[in-house]
Amino acid sequence: MTLAGQSWAYVGRTRNGKTVKGKVDATTEAAVAARLAAMAISPISITASAAGTGLNREISLPGFSKRIGLKDLAIMSRQMATMIGSGLSLLRTLNILAEQSENPSLAKILAQVRNDVETGTSISDAFGKHDSHFPPIMINMVRAGETGGFLDGALESIAANFEKEVKLRNTIKSALTYPVLVLIMSLVAVMVMLIFIVPIFKDMFAGLGSALPAPTQILVNLSEAMIWVAPVLLIGGITFSIWWSRNKNALAVRKIKDPVMLKIPVFGPLLKKVAVARFARNFSNMIGAGVPILQALKIVGDTSGNWVIENALTEVAESVRQGKSISGPLLAQPVFPAMVTQMIAVGEDAGSLEIMLDKIADFYDDEVQAATEQLTAAIEPLMIAFLGVIIGGMVIALYLPIFSISDAVN
């Protein structure tokens, strides 16, 4: 268990001479004094106190805190852009966001960001201290907007980017949910039949005194093996899940997994379109925010979600570092369709790369949407047929001996 943070008790005097008391959360005594000054309170005493005692102490259990998702960050960015654009100070904006955020984890981090900003830290550096929660693209776009004096515009771009990313992820989930559920149902049905149903028929077949048909014998053998196969599969599945959650983002795993994912029939082309859409959108936003090309390429590669794209952009960055164009090296990368590289080349020549990348992202967003709808429409009857073949085949195998006996009697 971990405590929520440092709390400070203060006694102060307002401008009309009234003495007030209260508590604030801050990292240092100087930050408390700065906040009281912003509240027009002259501090008399400031003392550190525990975040709470007994039942009033805020407690968080590791692993049970609510995760900060892209949707939370999109809402926060949109609200922050609106308030800053309306003339609210950065400190007041952060204070409001920390108080009204519905996600407790995000509220706690925003309070820490506010405390850092109070002590003179820039907003981008304050976000950078929590890079496990704020993506690199967000930190760098905020830094660019902060430096260029268009922080509200940068936050608007971040919000729009995250909103489209959330929509894209939901589209992919909707395409994958049905086949995954049907596959799980099939596996569960097969396991139940092998463990509970087949043994009943096995005892019944034992009194027949004749050899079982080959399909039935295979089913009986599988049922007998389930005594040790089921525990092994269960333990192996749990072990693999734990290993996968810890190592799925490791470079050695991604070098094998990501190229294979792009080559899977049906789903591979869809994942490729998703990767290209994400690359184009992120790259466009980074350029629009004024982030240098080389830095933007690195960040876009890191946030692409696919090692093939990341590796390709590393080679592109090296080419750009040597004074060459962006589109030239992209032509040599098979992951990028010819249309993408040609549009980028036109954008480079015309000085409208950001606009071209936006058009590419919108085009592939529509492509993903259309491909998902087609895939969903096509996969439903296929999965139903698959489930029918598996369960129907097992039922027929169980009844084959009965049919054989009936034929022999006749």
For the segment 192-224, what is each residue's pLDDT rounded down to a tens digit?
888 888 888 777 777 666 677 888 888 888 888
Distance CA 18, CA 54 (A): 31
Instruction: Tell me how far CA of residue 11 lies from CA of 8, 36, 44, 48, 200, in angstroms.
Output: 10, 10, 5, 12, 79
- Classify the C-alpha dihedral 211-213-218-222 as positive or negative: negative
Q: Which of 25-29, 157-161, 263-267, 363-367 has the lowest mean pLDDT?
A: 25-29
How distant, in Å, are the alpha carbons of 204, 396, 397 from that of 400? 13, 6, 5
Amino acid at 39: M
What pLDDT, in 10s, does the model give residues 107-161? 889 988 988 888 888 998 999 898 888 888 888 888 888 877 888 888 888 888 8
Q: Where are the alpha helices (DSSP H) in 59-150?
A: 70-85, 90-100, 104-118, 123-128, 136-148
Question: Which of 251, 253, 231, 258 lies closest to 243 in space, CA to CA?
Answer: 253
Reading the block at residue 237, the tokens are 């599945």
Which residues, 6+ apart, have CB-to-CB distance to 273 below 8 Å?
Answer: 364, 367, 368, 371
**What is the rounded CA–CA span in Å between residue 371 and residue 157?**
26
State pTM to two decimals. Answer: 0.64
Name the more confident of 49 and 354.
354
Average pLDDT, integer, range 175-182: 77
Residue whose C-alpha is closest to residue 366's, from 179, 171, 175: 171
pLDDT digit string, tens, across residues 29-47: 777 777 777 777 878 778 8
Residue 278 reports pLDDT greater than 80:
yes
